[in-house]
Chains A and B, each alone.
Chain A
């Protein structure tokens, strides 16, 4: 069933394939850079490299994103066109240290 669904979805074409994104690293459960500036009202992409051995979840209710990033993996995180403002995010599994903010301006 799942395979069928996946096969079905394969035939659709992705709407966005932006290669250029903002590179962010997660190391020792900290984001660097932890302040990410994007242009307001334009979609953007964060390319998140998890340099730690364990997984973490990029989590942000204001960005409306929950994305698990396994250890030593990268994730392309799409940001919708954002109104000017601050959008905090965190690594949910290590929220004590993994904190950051997207600033749209």
Chain B
């Protein structure tokens, strides 16, 4: 039971953190709960599909289908996170000023909800597929301990939810005026970490044979498979031994997001000035 709890919990950390951040980032936007639930449900369904067709998926692209798939959905999440941040840079300030915004602003706010819904879906899908395969394996093997293992798995899922809650309520202690700054910073790092992860999948699939050497190794200081390592891996993209290409993707993503956030017109009134 303990081992299945640990495995499921480990897989749920990432999805849990991301749900918490998304909930905080969308504070004050109506129907955000629906969007998050939609993302979770779609992610679970997707996870079951991926688990069911894991063999077929892996056989694609000369045996690197799994890597390509992971790289592609991570890249999708990076694009969605970028879009959200850039949109928030344009409208977030108004939203912060008056959390109960006028109808027009609220409607535009719902647009990036869709993007964040996709991000939640991707996070749940990626980790969920492994949980499904793992729990299915337990069920298939049967034996006396199966129910105990399943209970451990269920507890792991609950713990993932607790992580979401901690992240969310932790972020809510930040005053509304600063909350969007903090969440857009978190989302930028989240996106950079995902971009680096996406690049690693491409490299492991043999599709990006540049800068494959690892640049440093901090496994002695903080192993990536420790709980702290996992948390930091999700939150800021920590890697104990990043490859050169991962570092380029990480830095490049942060740069692109920051530049786009600067370029976007700051709300309708200042649009002309920002264009100069």
Interface of A is mostly: loop
Mark out the residues of chain A between 54 and 105 whose CB falls within 8 Å of any chain B CB in the assembled complex: 54-57, 61-62, 64-65, 67-71, 73, 75-78, 80-81, 92-93, 95-96
- Nearest opposing residue in chain A for B224, CB measure: A61
Q: How far is A5 from B54 in the complex, measured between Cα atoms in Å?
A: 18
> How many chain B residues touch A (Cβ–Cβ < 8 Å)?
45
Contact across chains for A55 and B240 when beta carbons are under 8 A apart: no
Nearest residue, chain B, Cβ from A54: B137
**Known contacts A15-B206, A64-B200, A64-B243; A93/B62 CB under 8 A:** no
Q: Are A70 and B3 in contact (CB under 8 A)?
A: no
Interface contacts (Cβ under 8 Å), in number, total 105
Judged by a CB distance under 8 angstroms, whether B271 is at the interface is no
Question: Interface digits, B48-87 against A, CB 8 Å rule (1 contact, 0 not)?
Answer: 0001001100101111101111001100100000000000
Report chain A residues within 8 Å CB of B276.
Answer: none
Nearest CB of A to B102, in Å: 32
Chain B residues whose C-beta falls within 8 Å of the C-beta of A96 in the assembled complex = 3
Is B225's beta carbon under 8 Å from chain A?
yes
A90 to chain B, nearest CB (A): 10
- Chain B stretch 126-148: residues in CB contact (< 8 A) with chain A: 129-130, 133-134, 136-137, 140-141
Partner of A70, one of B58, B76, B200, B239: B58
Query: Does B219 reach chain A (CB closer than 8 Å)?
Result: yes
Q: Is the CB of B61 within 8 A of A67?
A: no
Query: How many whole Å from A102's CB to the nearest CB in chain B?
Result: 14
Residue in chain A with minimal CB distance to B135: A93
Nearest neighbor of B134 in chain A, beta-carbon distance: A93
Complex CA gap A48/B240 in Å reads 25
Return B149 CB to nearest CB of chain A, in Å. Answer: 11
CB of B214 within 8 A of CB of A61, answer: no
A side interface size, CB within 8 A: 37
Complex contact B241–A62 (CB within 8 A) = yes
- Kindly list chain A residues whose C-beta atoms are within 8 Å of the C-beta of B205: 14, 78
**Interface assignment of A53: CB less than 8 Å from any CB of chain B:** yes
Residue numbers in A under 8 Å from B7 (CB-CB)? 92-93
A54-B206 in contact (CB<8A): no
Interface residues of B (CB under 8 A from A): 3, 7, 51, 54-55, 58, 60-64, 66-69, 72-73, 76, 129-130, 133-134, 136-137, 140-141, 200, 203-209, 212-214, 219, 223-225, 239-241, 243
17 A-B pairs whose Cβ atoms sit less than 8 Å apart in the complex: A9-B61, A10-B61, A12-B207, A14-B205, A16-B206, A54-B137, A55-B51, A61-B219, A61-B224, A61-B225, A62-B219, A64-B241, A77-B204, A78-B205, A93-B7, A93-B134, A96-B3
